[in-house]
Chains A and B, each alone.
Chain A
Amino acid sequence: MAAILEVDGLRKAYADGFEALKNVSLQIEQGEIVALLGPNGAGKTTLISTICGITQATAGSVRVGGFDIIRDFRAARSIIGLVPQEINLEPFERVINTVNFSRGLFGKPRDDAKVEEILRQLSLWDKKDNQIRELSGGMKRRVLIAKALSHEPRLLFLDEPTAGVDVELRKDMWDVVARLKSSGVTIVLTTHYIEEAEAIADRVGVIAKGEMLLIEEKVQLMQRMGQKQLDVQLTAPVTQLPETLEKYDLLLSDDGATLTYSYDTRADRTGITKLLSDVSASGLVLRDVVTRQSSLEDIFVDLVHTETGDAA
């Protein structure tokens, strides 16, 4: 598969010296869905804005569909659709007019059938003659998506498409994304929600403080995140593990009072029941049992801490 988006050494520094992006590089293949996760102010929106031409990069290069976004800005931008985070729409415009306007702005001749198809796909067709101000928040967000899709982009950016959206609409949005993917559109979305990335993304990137900390297959990341630890606290410390427990790869704490067992929450059998019965069969007496799971937050903190060397 060919890369539809190549970002190389992208930097963005503002006049006041704040560095919103620090040497970000990434490649996105045609047809995949990539979720960019990161806390507020991590640089997600700046990254998207720079790729789309709204923000000027300080250094680095971006190619979309093989076209440089500065030298071949027309060819590059024609491929891109952008759904911004904020709901920015002219309140007095009618839905159909604003979507037709977007299509024209991107240089595509008027095509009523295509626009109808897009509006129907987003359940907006009945509302096509409504003024934007008459629509609910969720509907307005759909209008933004319709505008972004109006010129049939191959690469779609969704900047926090489900921020402040109720659960039902969020599921709807995921369906929309899945349909777009099946029609061959590459999607890059930013989000706060790990479930969202889990539900729809093929790959997940983590951004913090303007740096791309990792970008990897969702499955692998989920495995790492799916790791859970079970601490078995004993009434009396031990110096050595009983032989019957060796197969569990247990970690014995320094004081000998806690056994730690790591397991995958996604596995069919986590082995907890067996472990606990083996522990009591070996004569050890349980005082308490605690489980711990690393959250996305932990991973952020961990990554930021280890990779940039400062306390998050």
Chain B
Amino acid sequence: MNLIAIRAIFAFEMARFFRTIAQSLISPVLSTSLYFVVFGAAIGSRIQEVEGVSYGAFIVPGLIMLSVITQSISNASFGIYFPKFIGTTYELLSAPVNFLEIVAGYVGAAATKALIIGIIILVTAFFFVDITIAHPIAMVLFLLLTCLSFSLLGFIIGIWASSFEQLQLVPLLVITPLVFLGGAFYSISMLPPVWQTISLFNPVVYLVSGFRWSFFGAADVPIFLSLVAIAGFTLACLVVIWWIFKTGWRLRQ
């Protein structure tokens, strides 16, 4: 295991994050605050309670998930796409590192950035609403797994993309709708039965539900299913990445 190489990639990627610290942190905090104002204060005042929780507090887990998922994907996809775009992948491919080490460095850094942002949003939320965390360990576990799995997905997108447009395509066309329709701002029990069934095909539902359970102890789907879903998703991403490096797809000629 080339630990020095993993650390080198990780540190290099984190340096980019800290170099642009203002935009890295201010924008998610600002947009989350806006969500609180719009959904929490303006709309929330008309909604009494959802599953026994005030609406303002109810949306906190969903908001964190929304930011963590989009940040994981954009950090990880940009992290590997940019070297590809400017041609510095030659160095990665000729270095004495295997695919796991490259992934650990890039995905580790992307997941860490997303985690930092998730924590900051959680702290911001405390300023707006009263939140209690019923299952802190499960909460941390869900947060970590989400950062990790969506950073893996972002890494795949970054390798797949052959232009900046494509880099934006998947997050915009697939991820954002899935997250918004994944129960971030509502409980799926509030939907008509048909849509409830359709929602069960959306993987994000399981994430948001599990994460919300760790806060309030109530979930849309069984917590066990949530864990299986996210573990399965992580595994699937790892298999795809392993295949990418094995075949050199979009990386090695």
Contacts and interface: CB of A to CB of B under 8 A. Distances in A.
B95 interface: yes
B95 A56 contact: no
> Helix, strand, loop or mixed for chain B's interface?
helix
Contacts of B88: 88-90
Contact of A105 (B19, B92, B252, B253): B92
B239 interface: no
A89 B19 CA distance: 17
Contacts of A56: 248, 252-253
Contacts of B93: 52-54
Contacts of A103: 8
Interface string A85-115: 0101111100001001111111111000000
Contacts of B87: 84, 86, 88
A142 interface: no
B243 to A, nearest CB: 15
Nearest to B95: A105
A52 B86 contact: no
Interface in B190-204: none
B94 A82 contact: yes
B96 A104 contact: no
A104 B253 contact: no
Given A14-B253, A91-B86, A147 B91 contact: yes
A103 B94 CA distance: 13
B15 interface: yes
Contact of A102 (B11, B86, B91, B248): B91
Contact of B97 (A55, A86, A105, A147): A105
B163 interface: no
Given A104-B7, A105-B9, A88 B96 contact: no
A91 B88 CA distance: 11
A179 interface: no
Contacts of B83: 90
Nearest to A159: B90
Top 6 closest pairs, chain A to chain B, by CB = A104-B8, A88-B87, A74-B96, A52-B94, A77-B96, A105-B95
Given A82-B91, A107-B4, 8 more contacts: A54-B252, A56-B252, A77-B96, A90-B86, A90-B88, A97-B15, A104-B7, A105-B91
